[in-house]
Amino acid sequence: KMHALPEDIRRRIENHPCYSEEAHHHFARMHVAVAPACNIQCHYCNRKYDCANESRPGVVSELLTPEQAVKKTLVVAAAIPQLSVLGIAGPGDPLANPERTFATFRLLAEKAPDIKLCVSTNGLALPQYVEELARHNIDHVTITINCIDPDVGAQIYPWIFWRNKRVRGRAAAEILIEQQQKGLEMLVAKGVLVKVNSVMIPGVNDEHLKEVSKVVKAKGAFLHNVMPLIAAAEHGTFYGLMGQRSPTPEELKALQDACEGEMNMMRHCRQCRADAVGLLGEDRGAEFTMDKVEAME
């Protein structure tokens, strides 16, 4: 359930399938996988797969150039009239690939000005790109925030790549947390709608996420999306999380309920792939691979 929203905000989310529970029945989103590199390592990410920021481990997405991404978007927009949002969510971190990400947004704003632009990031590089995001009219940003305590963070992130150096352990988590919180504040100050995604990792950050929810709400995040860790042996090594289990659906719901005080909780997330296409939960990505797109043009 959504807490009462001012009219202008309602209008800004009414056709965004993730920001509005109601909209997800009627509007579609697509992701273009233009961002291969990442600037951090999450224990739960196996880099062969899509970004677990927003997506579940699965088949590797087909990497697109900005030009291919635009071509694909135009073809999908013609085939799926409910398409309202174009998101960049991986397979790495969009802001660790700023040329490719912003070139895509720039071309799209030109060729498909009616499509809303959305981006999801781990937040490390966020403060330095807030201006540019605002300049590109990106009205919706998701930050994956799994902790605000570096001791918790040290169990989730083995390292980050920061100012041309690899930083490890607690010091790495400290920098990442600081950048995420700063980025959140800067976006809110610009009037951008910020959603926070958190991956619930039993025994690591599950209890802690209640505190995270309060803090990001106080800083002006619009929506909190607590997603379950997807731990499955067939997806390969989980680095420091070897043997880590996923939460049960009951545990997930209990945590979402506990967070839902003043905060709007997203309950309809489908943990999309970095190349998802269609209504949430109806992934039509396979219909729009680049070879098919080229043939349809």
For position 93 contacting ligand CLF by CB under 6 A, the verdict is no
Name which position in 51, 272, 274, 277 contacts ligand CLF (CB under 6 A): 272
Helical H segments across 51-165, by residue range: 66-79, 98-111, 126-135, 150-153
52: three-class secondary structure by DSSP: coil
H/E stretch holding 119 = strand 116-121
Tokens coding 56? 């579940």
For position 41 contacting ligand CLF by CB under 6 A, the verdict is no
Phi, psi of 118 (to 5 degrees): -140, 150
In the bound state with ligand CLF, the residue whose beta carbon lies nearer, of 31 and 100, is 31
For position 279 contacting ligand CLF by CB under 6 A, the verdict is no
Tell me the closest approach of the beta carbon of residue 75 to ligand SF4, in angstroms: 26
- CA 185 – CA 119 distance, rounded (Å): 16
**Pair 136, 105: CB distance under 8 Å:** yes
In the bound state with ligand SF4, the residue whose beta carbon lies nearer, of 45 and 263, is 45
Name which position in 20, 41, 179, 198 contacts ligand SF4 (CB under 6 A): 41
Tell me the closest approach of the beta carbon of residue 38 to ligand SF4, in angstroms: 3
Binding residues among 59-98 for ligand SF4 as defined by CB under 6 A: 92-93
Tokens coding 289? 């691979």
Name which position in 112, 258, 269, 290 contacts ligand CLF (CB under 6 A): 269
Binding residues among 178-237 for ligand CLF as defined by CB under 6 A: 225
In the bound state with ligand CLF, the residue whose beta carbon lies nearer, of 155 and 198, is 198
- CA 45 – CA 93 distance, rounded (Å): 12
In the bound state with ligand CLF, the residue whose beta carbon lies nearer, of 89 and 221, is 89
Q: In what order do the strands lie in the sheet with 40-41?
A: 40-41, 159-162, 165-168
For position 264 contacting ligand CLF by CB under 6 A, the verdict is no
For position 101 contacting ligand CLF by CB under 6 A, the verdict is no
Going from the C-alpha of 120 to that of each of 144, 194, 197, 238, the distances in angstroms are: 8, 10, 9, 22
Helical H segments across 112-234, by residue range: 126-135, 150-153, 169-190, 208-218
* Among 183, 30, 51, CA closest to 108: 30
For position 34 contacting ligand SF4 by CB under 6 A, the verdict is no
Interface contacts to ligand SF4, rule CB under 6 A: 38, 40-42, 45, 51-53, 92-93, 122
Q: Kindly list the residues in this chain that would bind ligand CLF in the complex (CB under 6 A).
A: 18, 29, 31, 54, 85, 87, 89, 118, 120, 140, 142, 225, 269-272, 280
